Amino acid sequence: MALVEPWLLEILRCPVCRAPVTEDEAASVLRCTAADHVYPVVEGVPNMLPPEDR
């Protein structure tokens, strides 16, 4: 089962890099494809706050 809906994953971007993100289902996170930014997903809702603002 996907972490987030496919249509949502398609439009989500890393707020720091503006790069697409990919799912890491094992870790329940979205990962930035440009840098080492990680966004937790809780019950299907990704926390897209920049890591430095959390």
Residues in the chain: 54
Beta strand extents in 1-54 (DSSP E only): 21-24, 29-32, 38-42, 45-46
- Residue 46 binds to Zn ion (criterion: CB under 5 A): no
Can you tell me the distance from the alpha carbon of 13 to that of 2, in angstroms, rounded to the nearest whole number? 17
- Residue 37 binds to Zn ion (criterion: CB under 5 A): yes
- Residue 16 binds to Zn ion (criterion: CB under 5 A): yes
Binding residues for Zn ion, total number by CB under 5 A? 6
Among 3, 30, 32, 41, binds Zn ion (CB under 5 A): 32
Residues at the interface with Zn ion (CB under 5 A): 14, 16-17, 32, 35, 37
